[in-house]
Structure 1
Amino acid sequence: MPKALLDFLGYCFFFWSNENEEPPHIHVCKGKPSKNSTKFWIRDDEIVLEHNNANIPAKDLKKIQMYISLNKKDIIYEWFRHFNQ
């Protein structure tokens, strides 16, 4: 697993295995994966916050969004590897 998906600021980055019908996105929460996670869509030209169910503070959301953007290539690679696409 690339470092991009391990952790950042204590947040966990992950995919749910039953969401391969959706476009690439990543879930984020503190600690371990949880259904109350925050979701970001990963698009060609931007990283879009879908929802903040993990109630991540705004200052951290900005940092996380930038982190995802900087590691987008690795995250997308892992998305397609995870879903065998």
Structure 2
Amino acid sequence: MPTVLRVGPYKFYFFSHEPNEPPHVHVDREGLSAKFWLETCDLARNLGFPAHELRRVRTIVVAHREELSEAWYGYFGTAS
């Protein structure tokens, strides 16, 4: 489970066993978890984050999208 970014209380990571899904990132904070697709920065799943905090987290994903995508493709390789 490579951690690719930390911003404040948020840990951004992906699971090493998910290479067949579209590029995405998981975000955790104190028992809360969310998943965002990197191409669109859309929310894929939310487990506990309140809406106002999801907006904040999405802003971070958008701001670091290129870095997160590079980490994804650096780990899994380019799409075939």
Query: Do structure 1's residue 76 and structure 2's residue 69 form an aligned pair?
Result: yes
Are the counterparts in 2 of residues 29 and 56 from structure 1 also a CA contact under 8 Å? no
AA aligned to 1:70 is A
Alignment length (residue pairs): 75
What is the TM-score of this pair, normalised by structure 2?
0.81
- Cα root mean square deviation, aligned: 1.8
Question: What are the ranges of 5 or more consecutive residues in structure 2 without an aligned counterpart?
Answer: none
Q: 1:37 is paired with a residue of what secondary structure?
A: strand
C-alpha displacement at 1:84, in angstroms?
3.3
Mapping 1:34-73, distance limit 5 Å = 37-43=33-39, 46-53=40-47, 55-73=48-66
Counterpart CA distance in 1 for 2:8 and 2:53 is 8
| Structure showing greater relative contact order (alpha-carbon pairs closer than 8 Å, 6 or more residues apart) | 1
Deviations 1:19-40 (A, max 9, x none): 0101100001115xx7x73111
Question: What are the ranges of 5 or more consecutive residues in structure 1 without an aligned counterpart?
Answer: none
Counterpart CA distance in 2 for 1:10 and 1:84 is 29
| Percentage of identical aligned residues | 31
Counterpart CA distance in 1 for 2:26 and 2:34 is 5
Q: Which has the higher strand share?
A: 2
